[in-house]
Amino acid sequence: MIKIDLLHKLKEKKNLQLSYEQLKIVNNIDGPALTLATAGSGKTTTICCRVGNLVTRKITKPERILVLSFSNASVNDIRKRFESLFTSIIHLNEMKKIKFSTIHSFANSALRYYFNKMDNIPSIIDEKEQNSLISQIFYEINKRRPRPSEKKEILSLISYININKIKNNINISSYNLISSFGLIYKRYEQIKREQNKIDFTDMLFMCYTLLKEYKPLQNTFENKYDYILVDEAQDMSLIQYEIIKLMTSKHENLMLVADDDQSIYGFRGSNPEILKTFLSDYKNAETMYLSKNYRCTKTIVNVAKQFIEKNPNRFKKDIKPYNNKESELIIKHFKEEKNQNMFIANEIKRKYSNELQDTAILFRDSLSAIQLIYYLNKYDIPFYCNISEIKFFRHFIKNDIMAVILLAYDRTNIESLYEIYNKINLPFKDKDIKKVFDQKYKTEDTFRAFERLNAYYNKEQKNAMKNLEYQLNELSKLNPNEAIDYFLNNMNYKDYLANLSNKSGYANSIYARYIDLMRFLTKNEPSIRTFLYKIGNLQINVKNSKENKNKQAVTLSTLHSAKGLEFKNTFIISANKNIIPSIPSLTQSKNPQYNALDEERRLMYVGLTRAKENLYILSYKQPSRYITELKDIINNIKNN
C-alpha cells in the first residue's frame, strides 16, 4: 500500500487527494493491468503517483522503471508532471534515474545496443526525409508532384503494410489503392535497402524481430526494467505492443493506461483494438477504471459524454464529472469567417485579458489559423502558436496567385512563369520553358527572351504568348484583390482547379477556402508590395510566437496537438461543414485499418474536453453536423 506519509505530502504540498479509483491503480503493483480512463480523469497524475509509490516504498530502483508514451510532447508532459508532484518528496538524483521515453526512442536504443560493434548500422530517415523521398518517387513514376493528401495516404499505407508484416496475412490487393501505389511502395523499399536506411516503422519492425529472434537482446531488456507503464496506450500500434510484450514476458509487470475515446492517430497506425488483444493475451490482467473527470465542469462533461457515446465500438465505461459546477457552453454561428474571428478577439479582450495563458483557440486544420492571427494582431492579443507548420504558406494556390501577380509586375521574373505555365493552358512543354529559363539574361523581359531565343515552335505558341502578355498588362492595372478574380476568370485558373478537383477527387471546396483566404489577405492592399509585406509579416508573427510559450499569451493549436492540454477558456473554431468531419474522412481513407469518421468524432471530443470552464464552439457559413448534434444534446440535458 502507498505510504500514508506520501499521501499526506501529496495532499499538503501538492494539494492532491487521490480518489479511491486512483488509489487502486497506484497500489496495483504486480502483474498485468489495463486502466481504462476517461478524459481529464487524472491518467497522467495517477501514473506519476504509481511511479512515486514504487520509488518511495523502494519496491524497485528508480532506474528499473520505464514509462512509455507515443510522442515527445506526451513524454515531456509526464516527466514535467512527475517532477512537479515529487520535487521535495523524492531526491532529484533518484528522480533523474527513472526512464521516461517514447517507444520509438526506446526501439532506437535497443537497435543501437544490438548494432553497437558493427559498422553497418542502418541510418534512420526522419519524417521530413521520408516525405521528400516519397515526393521524388511519385514524380519519377507519375511525372507530377503528389498532392499533400496523396502523400499522406501513401505514407499511411506504407506504414500500415510494414507495421502489419508482423501478421503475415496482410492482403491489400482487395482495397482501392491510390494509382501506382504498388510501384511507389516497391521503389521506396528498394531505395532504403540500397542506401542502408530505415524509416521509423522499419525501426520498430527491426527492434521487434531482434528482440524475438535474438534471445540475449531480449534478456538484456527484460532484465533491465522491473515495471513498465504505458501512457496513452490507445495510440499504440500492433508492432509497438508486441515489442512491449517481449520486454515484459518475464515479469509481466505491465500497466497500460488508455482512453480509447481519445485515439486520434489511426492514420499513423495506432489502433485501440489492441487493448482487446492485451486482455486476451493476459487472461490474468486486472481491468481498472478512471471514470471521474476532474478537469471540466459538469455541463461540459455531460455534453462531451453524450457526444462521444454516439461512436460505435467503444469500450463501455462511465464518464462522471467531479466538478459539479454548471457552466455556459456557447455555440455561435456567424455569416463569415471574419465575424467569427472578430467575435473571438472581442470576447478575449472583454473577458479573458487577465487569463491569456489559460485560454486556447483550437481548430481542425491550420488553414483556420491565418485569418485568426491577423485579427489577434489587430486587437493586440499575444498568442503562442503550437503548430509545427502552417501549410498555407507553401500551398500551391497561394504560390500560383503570387506568381501571376509577380509576373505581371515584373516581366523579368521567369521563375513565376515556370510556376504557372502549365496551369493556364500555355501550349509549351517543360523543356521549352526550361530552355528560355536557362538562357535568359537576368534582367531581360521574359517575352523578349522567348523572341530572341526563337523559342516558339509554332503559331499556336506565339499567339498564346502574345495573349499572355496582353493579360498580364491588364492584370498589372488591377490591385492584388482584383487580380485574383482576373486570374481565376480570364486566365483559366478556375477551370484548372475544377479539373484538378475532378481528376483527384479532392474537393473543390478546399481550394475555395484558399482562394477566400487570398481574397481576404489582398483586400485593401493597394499594391503587390504591401500585400507581400502583409504575408511576410504573418509568417514572421507565427515564427516569433514560439517565444510566447508559457507566457501571458493565448494558445493556438490544432485539435490533434491539443491532446493532453487543458485551459480554463477554450474556443473550438471553424466547426464548419467539410472542415470537421474533414472531407477526406467523409470520403473514407483507403487505409483499411481505421474508420476515419469515428476518429473525427474522437478528435472533436478531445477538443471539448480541453475546456475546464468556458467552452465556445463557433462556426461560419455552413455549420458542421456536430453543431446540430451538440445543440440537440444540450437541449435534451436542459429538458431532463
Residue nearest to ligand ATP (CB): 42
- How remote is the C-alpha of 565 from its chain's centroid? 14
**Closest approach of Cβ 45 to ligand ATP, in Å?**
4
* Closer residue to ligand ATP (CB): 41 or 368: 41
One-letter amino acid identity for 638? K
Query: In the complex, what is the shortest distance from the CB of residue 362 to ligand ATP, in angstroms, rounded to a whole number?
Result: 13
β partners of residue 384: 555
Q: 304 and 278 in contact (C-beta within 8 Å)?
A: no
| Residue pointed to by grid coordinates 503559331 | 459
Helix (H) or strand (E) holding 33: strand 33-37
Q: Is 609 in the site for ligand ATP (CB under 6 A)?
A: yes
CB-nearer residue toward ligand ATP: 258 or 515: 258
Among residues 424, 330, 391, the alpha carbon closest in space to that of 619 is found at 330
Counting other chains too, the contacts that 431-434 makes at CB distance below 8 Å and 24 or more residues apart are 432/457, 432/461
Q: Are 502 and 508 in contact (CB under 8 A)?
A: no
Q: Is 43 annotated as a binding residue?
A: yes
The residue with cell 492485451 is: 278
19 is in an annotated binding site: no
Q: Which of residues 79-108 bind ligand ATP (CB under 6 A)?
A: none
Q: Shortest gap between Cβ of 44 and ligand ATP (angstroms)?
A: 4
Q: Smaller CB distance to ligand ATP: residue 5 or 460? A: 5
- We find the least distance from the C-beta atom of residue 614 to ligand ATP, in angstroms, to be 16
Q: Let me know if 543 is exposed, middle or buried by CB neighbors in 10 A (0-12, 13-18, 19+).
A: exposed
Q: Please, which residue, 258 or 345, has the CB nearer to ligand ATP? A: 258
When the beta carbons of 257 and 420 are compared against ligand ATP, the nearer one is 257
Q: Which is nearer to ligand ATP, 85 or 491 (by Cβ)?
A: 85
Select 199 or 259, whichever has its Cβ closest to ligand ATP. Answer: 259
Contact 370, 383 (CB under 8 A): no
359 carries a ligand binding annotation: no
How far, in Å, CA of 640 to CA of 637, rounded? 5
- Cell output for 64: 528499473
Bridge partners of residue 572, in order along the sequence: 362, 617
Q: In the 8-state DSSP scheme, what is residue 313?
A: S
The dihedral through the CA atoms of 182, 183, 185, 186 has a sign that is positive
Please tell me the distance from the alpha carbon of residue 368 to that of residue 334, in angstroms, as a whole number.
14
* 42 in a known ligand binding site: yes
Tell me if 570 contacts ligand ATP by CB under 6 A: no
User: Are residues 307 and 607 in contact, defined by beta-carbon separation less than 8 angstroms?
Assistant: no
Would the annotation count 38 as a binding residue? Answer: yes
State how far the Cα of 412 lies from the Cα of 449, in Å rounded to an integer.
9
All three cell numbers of 521, joined, read: 489577405
341 versus 609: smaller Cβ distance to ligand ATP: 609
CB of 87 to ligand ATP, least distance (A): 15
* Residue 41 annotated in ligand binding: yes
Contact residue for ligand ATP among 9, 104, 151, 295 (CB under 6 A):
295
Number of residues that bind ligand ATP (CB under 6 A): 20
CB of 257 to ligand ATP, least distance (A): 8
Q: Between 40 and 146, whose beta carbon lies closer to ligand ATP?
A: 40
Q: How far is the CB of 229 from ligand ATP (least distance, A)?
A: 13
Q: Of 244-263, which residues contact ligand ATP (CB under 6 A)? A: 259, 262
Contact 592, 632 (CB under 8 A): no
User: What pairs with residue 329 in β-bridges?
Assistant: 615
Residue with cell 521563375: 415
Taking the complex as a whole, how short is the minimal distance between the CB of residue 398 and ligand ATP, in angstroms?
34
| Nearest CA-CA partner of 294 in 42, 541, 58, 93 | 42
Residue 262 CB, nearest distance to ligand ATP (Å)? Answer: 6
Closest alpha carbon to 224 in 255, 248, 259: 248
CB-hemisphere CA count at 13 Å for 192? 23
Q: Which residue has the cell 523578349?
A: 448
Nearest CA to 229 out of 35, 3, 39, 87 is that of: 35
- Mask of contacts with ligand ATP, 518-557, x by CB under 6 A? ----------------------------------------
The angle that helices 43-56 and 4-14 make with each other, rounded to 10 degrees, is 130
Residues 262-281 that bind ligand ATP (CB under 6 A): 262
Ranges of beta strands (E only) in 261-301 are 286-290, 292-297
Q: How far is the CB of 19 from ligand ATP (least distance, A)?
A: 5
The answer to whether 587 is annotated as binding is: no
Residue from 31, 166, 286, 294 binding ligand ATP (CB under 6 A):
294
Please say which residue, 162 or 570, places its beta carbon nearer to ligand ATP: 570
Nearest to 82 by CA among 43, 53, 44: 44
The mark string for 4-43 relative to ligand ATP (x by CB under 6 A, - otherwise) is ------------xxxx--x--------------x-xxxxx
CB of 43 to ligand ATP, least distance (A): 3
The residue among 233 and 579 lying less far from ligand ATP, judged by its C-beta, is: 233
Smallest separation, CB 50 to ligand ATP (Å)? 12
Hey, which residues between 405 and 464 contact ligand ATP (CB under 6 A)?
Answer: none
Backbone φ and ψ of 558, nearest 5°: -75, 165
Tell me the CA distances in angstroms from 432 to 188, 407, 415, 457, one per residue in order.
31, 18, 14, 9
Residue 311: CB partners within 8 Å, gap ≥ 6? Answer: 261, 598, 601, 602
37 versus 405: smaller Cβ distance to ligand ATP: 37
- Of the pair 39, 408, the CB lying nearest ligand ATP is at 39
Note whether 45 binds ligand ATP by CB under 6 A: yes
Is 39 assigned to a binding site? yes
- Kindly state the smallest distance separating residue 21's Cβ from ligand ATP, in Å: 9
Which residues contribute to the annotated binding site for ATP?
Answer: 37-44
Contacting residues toward ligand ATP, per CB under 6 A:
16-19, 22, 37, 39-45, 259, 262, 294-295, 564, 566, 609
Going by the annotation, the residues of the binding site are 37-44
